Amino acid sequence: MAYHTKTNGEKHFPIMCAESIDAVSYVYQPVICASTKETLYFEQLARFEGARDDDRRTQTIIEWLEVTGDIIGLDIHSFDVAIVALLENDDINIGVNISGATLSKKEACAEIIARLKDAAAICPRLYVEVTETHAISNMLYAAEFASALDGLGMQMVVDDFGEGNSTGLYLSVLYPALVKLRMKSGQAVTPELLEKAALARTYGAALVVEGLESQEDILRFPKTLVDFYQDYHVGRPAELKQWRLRKSRPALRLVSNA
């Protein structure tokens, strides 16, 4: 099944996949600085025709692609789209998701690095988020990939730390600049969540709190343990052109921990 996507209505990048969905497109969600309310970067999120505006359905499709191995094609394609978006918009940063299944394949890692080297100018504005739904089966490949990204000026991000397969091992291998923690809206901050935050801090990572749906959620989390926020309360996913109509991001930049 051929998938097609576009960043501005003109560019198409076909990939092959077993899932019978007509098309994949992308929306973007900001990661916001807790102290200044500035946007650090926009996370690029896949949306499938027939599952748009349905996060659970989208996640089910992605997990199925991880099972079939087709996630590699989607991940490579996502990097292609992000590269084009960054080339077309020189005043934003973008975060791209990558599956542990893709990181476990040496050839896939090499293909992504090759594409990034061909567009080296945009690399300092690219954040790479390792997702939690599929385990990294070869940590050597993952470590080499992280090192190559650092050499190109990119930042690693560990998504949903402590959930699924995202464990402390990811921190010790990837040395991410950012670690995301998922908070349950309307609930008190748990000791477990605070332990995750403290562990991430020991690796020098900045913290992003997800799951926020109200100002009360923001106030529940200790200010000393959060650097950035992300979720519907601070910015719902939208097409990149919609964000471009709003104020462009100030120049924020994290220092690599590697």
Tokens for 173, please give them: 């291998």
In a domain, 39, yes or no: yes
Q: What is the pLDDT at residue 164? A: 84
Number of domains in the chain: 1
**226: nearest Cα among 182, 188, 170:** 182
Q: What is the pLDDT at residue 157? A: 97
DSSP collapsed to 3 states, 55-94? HHHHHHHHHHHHHHCCHHHHHHHHHHHHHHHHHHCCCCCE
**205: nearest Cα among 129, 144, 100:** 129
In a domain, 253, yes or no: no
Q: What is the pLDDT at residue 45? A: 95
Q: What is the pLDDT at residue 256? A: 58
Tokens for 163, please give them: 């959930």
In a domain, 256, yes or no: no
The residue range of the domain holding 61 is 21-241
CATH code of 220's domain? 3.20.20.450
Question: Residues of the chain whose pLDDT is less than 70?
Answer: 1-22, 50-54, 247-258
In a domain, 13, yes or no: no
In a domain, 157, yes or no: yes
DSSP collapsed to 3 states, 39-53? EEEEEEEEEECCCCC
In a domain, 216, yes or no: yes
In a domain, 2, yes or no: no
In a domain, 14, yes or no: no
